[in-house]
Amino acid sequence: MSPAPSIHGDVAAGFGPVADAFRRNFTEHAEIGAAVAVYAGDQPLVDLWAGHRDRRREVRWERDTIVPVFSSSKGLSAFALAVAVSRGLLDYESPVAKYWPEFAAHGKDRITVRQLIDHQAGLSGLDRIVTLRELTDRDALGELLAAQKPAWRPGTRHGYHALTLGLYQSELLRRVDPADRSLGRFFAEEIAGPVGADVFIGLPATEPMERVAQLSATKGLDILRYELRDVPLRIGAEVYAKRGLSYAALTNPRPGAPARAARRDFLEIEWPGMNGVGNARALAQIYGAAAGRTGVLPIDDDVLDLLAAADTADDVPADDLVLHTKSRYHLGFRKSRGSFRFGSDKRAYGTTGLGGSFGFADPTTGLGFGYSMNRLGMAILDDVRSRNLRDAVMKCAAR
């Protein structure tokens, strides 16, 4: 058992058990540095941070420490599209090709916006290797994305578009945005700015790298000690064999080793849904604004109703062709389904990130939750540290 670190921050009355769970993540689950936050609308109920932002445990995790949150930024991208829907720039049920004619190539003319952002389009992989530098050429990247052939018949199955979804979302958004903004810029101006959230899709040059926590991979005996139950063995086998949908979806474009993601040349690229960098407070603020309907987000109530819909079942099987687990996606978010439960009921929505980060809205209670850390766990969805925290939150909220 590891020694308990000093816990910093504030907890509202009745939410003390969240601080206890946060402390246990350090003593029992090898946390290095982390933060957790809960907002009721725009009011903070939990805002905690502790530990270290470097592998050697020499530099303290501070209140303003930020860290790569990987696919937790998919929810941020989904909110950006929800803004566009609220303004009548997009319709979830319309074909993507209505807004992006070139996208119709190779039989993609009937793929709807909903099918694309719910990982049903069969575009989870790319036919050729794409470099990080190529992600900065929006016009050339748009042509490559439009020319991609689906890996399965769109709308019949789903498979996690781990690295490609945000690229498609960004190109679609800039096609309809009157200001021709990338998704990263759109998000900064329309969501993060108004909310006051310290999170970025594409780290600005003005943000010092000293704020960004180093990441640490889980290795050796620690895999057995902390992660064995959640290790994605079948995914690992496909990646090792360099074949299959998992391999195609998780290795191209090539971001490099996840533990090396806290570097300027990676974080400065706008790669929506993949390389967001921020903290738990920012995630909780945005999800809290949505769950509590504070009015600060430029998203109409009827669109927020769609995001919170409890019944999202459709004809698509729950088996994920990429993650080899059962999952349900809804308008760019994950929903609480099956063995992966979060929030107080099926209205909850959010997204997880590689390594364990998580942000979600719980519309029934009006709460927004955020968790960020720098030890990268190996769970496909349900990291034990995040689970401990959100379970404590929901028990406190139910009292």
Q: Is 221 exposed, middle or buried (0-12, 13-18, 19+ CB in 10 A)?
A: exposed
CB distance 75 to 186 below 8 Å: no
d(CA 364, CA 334): 16
d(CA 139, CA 350): 30
Catalytic residue among 71, 182, 246, 327: 71
Active-site residue flag, 71: yes
Sheet holding 67-70, edge to edge: 67-70, 276-278, 200-201
Task: Dump the DSSP string for 98-112.
Answer: HH-GGGGGGGTTT-B
CA 57 to chain centre: 26
Sorted by sequence, the CB contacts under 8 Å of residue 207 that are 6+ apart come out as: 66, 200
Q: Is 366 left (phi over 0), alpha (psi -120 to 50) or beta?
A: left
Q: Is 106 left (phi over 0), alpha (psi -120 to 50) or beta?
A: left
CA 31 to chain centre: 20
Sorted by sequence, the CB contacts under 8 Å of residue 302 that are 6+ apart come out as: none
CB distance 288 to 368 below 8 Å: yes
Which residues sit opposite 35 in a β-bridge?
49, 372
Which residues are known to be catalytic? 71
